[in-house]
């Protein structure tokens, strides 16, 4: 059951930024893939932490104890979001990129000359560059291609790239450039056949689809809370035995057990407070608007079940909105969408739709949309391998429209009207 328009209208009132007007007109945020707007409860939780608990961790006094509780609650929240068995399997960090460099460096210490790592051209560079860096340690990196006609990953190529020397397969759950969802479960199956670990970048997928690290069987999965209505902080799930066994780069007095050993220096505790609130917000969407019939999602209870109900409702709503967007874009002369456009295959994409428009560079389109208070990114979005493979780097990449559950059909129609009328 999809979120109803009335539910979305209600939810929108809870996001302070969505109430803003510039030049007397509302703002249309279609830039979610670069970072979503923040729910009011998140802002409140962060402010509250800074007043009621602000301290460093592991002290003997009240505010420090409250900080430790904040950290524990945030770990539990993220564990619930990704269905991790234990909260100690959640590592926080400044962002996904830093966490990934952190883990790749640690894995690098375990590699031998000629060990192999598989990456994909559909990925954000934050799941490529940290692995390329291991070439310095003698690792060989293999690149898996995608089909430029619909921007889906070449699964046969993935299978061929995995060899008995493969140690890590790094791939995205969904592309932040063109919206394709990858068959991560299949990648895990292939990787585990040769004993390789799978490192999943779920940054782009997290606001749009359910994540279950146990069902996937992946070894690591990373996401960024600022992409799902929270603050700027990253979170990594790693299987406990792996986190425990990997040699972290750490200062000597810091804890030797996971996750502390990977959390270098003092963390942003206020962001962790916000992360827990963001997950609670998502769960509340399920509680308020999900299809809560008895017997659904057996084995899931409490917040984990509410998160399932939430993302199910969000996904169905976003799919319908995405259909409206794609069919509208297809009516605009000279506009070319990169990625899946067949609505029957929309279960293989998130509602992130990128395109080029004859006669205008993506950056010009973005600037003109901005004059109409419509915010959308242009460029390669750090998914450099995607725009290179599509031959679009020289032309300035793509214009990306990213829908989130707080976007509306009216906003999509406004965008389509402005694009249609855009002088070229
Ligand atoms: C798919 C994907 N992976 C990784 C990143 C990098 O995330 P962070 O900014 O948290 O380092 C982004 C950011 O846009 C992204 O979209």
List pLDDT tens digits, range 362-390: 999 999 999 999 999 999 999 999 999 99
pTM: 0.98
- Cis previous bond, 259, omega within 30: yes
Pocket perturbation via mutation, ligand 1, pick of 93, 204, 207 by most ligand atoms within 8 A of CB: 204
Q: Is 173 helix (H, G, I), strand (E, B) or coil?
A: coil
Pocket perturbation via mutation, ligand 1, pick of 36, 100, 178, 203 by most ligand atoms within 8 A of CB: 203
- What confidence tens digit (pLDDT) does each residue in 244-269 have? 999 999 999 999 999 999 999 999 99
- What confidence tens digit (pLDDT) does each residue in 229-243 have? 999 999 999 999 999
Tokens of residue 99, six digits: 């966490």
Bridge pairing between strands 116-120 and 398-402: unpaired
Q: What is the mean pLDDT of residues 50-63?
A: 98
Kindly state the percentage of the chain with pLDDT values over 70: 100
Q: Name the residue among 255, 217, 252 with its Cα closest to residue 237.
A: 217
Q: Which atom of ligand 1 is nearest to the CA of 224?
A: 10
Tokens of residue 12, six digits: 């929108």
User: What integer pLDDT is reported at residue 176 of this predicted model?
Assistant: 98
Q: Which atom of ligand 1 is nearest to the CA of 97?
A: 11
pLDDT confidence tier of residue 315, bands split at 50, 70 and 90: very high
Q: Which atom of ligand 1 is nearest to the CA of 35?
A: 14
Strands of 335-338's sheet, edge to edge?
335-338, 352-357, 398-402, 377-379
Q: What is the mean pLDDT of residues 302-307?
A: 98
- Name every protein residue with a CB atom under 6 angstroms from any ligand 1 atom: 33, 95-97, 124, 126, 172, 176, 201, 203-204, 224, 234
Tokens of residue 174, six digits: 């969904």
Q: Which atom of ligand 1 is nearest to the CA of 174?
A: 1
Provide CB contacts within 8 A for 315, sequence distance 6+.
208, 209, 210
Report how far ligand 1's centroid is from the alpha carbon of 96 (Å): 6
What's the CA gap between 333 and 75, in Å, rounded? Answer: 48
Report how far ligand 1's centroid is from the alpha carbon of 240 (Å): 24
Q: What is the mean pLDDT of residues 195-202?
A: 98
Pocket perturbation via mutation, ligand 1, pick of 382, 383, 397 by most ligand atoms within 8 A of CB: 382
User: Cβ of 13: how many Cβ atoms within 10 Å?
Assistant: 10
Q: What is the mean pLDDT of residues 162-175?
A: 98
Q: Is 26 helix (H, G, I), strand (E, B) or coil?
A: strand
pLDDT confidence tier of residue 424, bands split at 50, 70 and 90: confident
Q: Which atom of ligand 1 is nearest to the CA of 94?
A: 10
User: What integer pLDDT is reported at residue 1 of this predicted model?
Assistant: 80
Tokens of residue 23, six digits: 């030049």
Q: What is the mean pLDDT of residues 178-205?
A: 98
Tokens of residue 338, six digits: 């990169």
pLDDT confidence tier of residue 99, bands split at 50, 70 and 90: very high
Q: What is the mean pLDDT of residues 304-312?
A: 98
Pocket perturbation via mutation, ligand 1, pick of 31, 126, 174 by most ligand atoms within 8 A of CB: 126
Bridge pairing between strands 166-172 and 197-201: parallel
Q: Name the residue among 156, 159, 207, 209 with its Cα closest to residue 181.
A: 209
Q: What is the mean pLDDT of residues 15-24?
A: 97
User: What integer pLDDT is reported at residue 6 of this predicted model?
Assistant: 97
Provide CB contacts within 8 A for 61, sequence distance 6+.
55
Tokens of residue 401, six digits: 């429209």
Q: Which atom of ligand 1 is nearest to the CA of 98?
A: 11
User: What integer pLDDT is reported at residue 133 of this predicted model?
Assistant: 98
Return mean pLDDT, the chain.
Answer: 98
Q: What is the mean pLDDT of residues 400-422?
A: 98
User: Cβ of 228: how many Cβ atoms within 10 Å?
Assistant: 24
């Amino acid at each position: 059951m999809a979120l109803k328009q009335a539910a979305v209208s209600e939810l929108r009132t809870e996001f302070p930024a969505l109430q803003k007007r510039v030049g007397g007109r509302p703002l249309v945020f279609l830039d979610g893939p670069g970072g979503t707007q923040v729910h009011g409860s998140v802002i409140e939780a962060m402010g509250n932490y800074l007043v009621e608990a602000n301290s460093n961790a592991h002290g003997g006094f009240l505010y420090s104890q409250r900080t430790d509780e904040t950290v524990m609650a945030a770990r539990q929240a993220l564990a619930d979001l990704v269905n991790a068995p234990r909260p100690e399997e959640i590592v926080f960090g400044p962002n996904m990129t830093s966490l990934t460099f952190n883990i790749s460096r640690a894995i690098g210490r375990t590699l031998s000359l000629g060990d192999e790592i598989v990456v994909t051209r559909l990925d954000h560079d934050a799941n490529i560059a940290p692995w390329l860096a291991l070439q310095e340690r003698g690792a060989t990196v293999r690149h898996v291609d995608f089909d430029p006609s619909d921007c889906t990953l070449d699964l046969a190529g993935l299978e061929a790239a995995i060899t008995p020397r493969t140690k890590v397969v790094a791939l995205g759950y969904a592309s932040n450039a063109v919206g394709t969802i990858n068959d991560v479960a299949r990648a895990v199956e292939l990787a585990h056949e040769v004993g390789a670990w799978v490192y999943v970048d779920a940054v782009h997928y997290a606001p749009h689809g359910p994540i279950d690290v146990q069902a996937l069987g992946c070894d690591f999965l990373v996401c960024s809370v600022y992409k799902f209505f929270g603050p700027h902080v990253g979170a990594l799930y790693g299987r406990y035995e792996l986190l425990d066994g990997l040699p972290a780069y750490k200062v000597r007095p810091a804890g030797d057990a996971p996750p502390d050993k990977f959390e270098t220096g003092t963390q942003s505790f206020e962001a962790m407070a916000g992360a827990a609130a963001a997950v609670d917000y998502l769960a509340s969407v399920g509680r308020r608007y999900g299809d809560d019939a008895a017997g659904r999602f057996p084995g899931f209870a409490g917040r984990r079940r509410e998160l399932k109900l939430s993302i199910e409702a969000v996904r169905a709503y976003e799919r319908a909105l995405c259909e409206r967007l794609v069919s509208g874009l297809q009516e605009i002369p000279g506009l070319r969408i990169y990625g899946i456009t067949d609505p029957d295959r929309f279960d293989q994409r998130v509602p992130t739709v990128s395109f080029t428009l004859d006669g205008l560079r993506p950056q010009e389109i973005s600037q003109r949309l901005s004059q109409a208070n419509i915010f959308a990114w242009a460029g390669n979005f750090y998914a450099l391998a995607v725009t290179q493979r599509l031959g679009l780097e020289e032309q300035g990449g793509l214009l990306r429209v990213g829908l989130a559950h707080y976007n509306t059909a009216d906003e999509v129609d406004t965008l389509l009207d402005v694009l249609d009328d855009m002088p070229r």
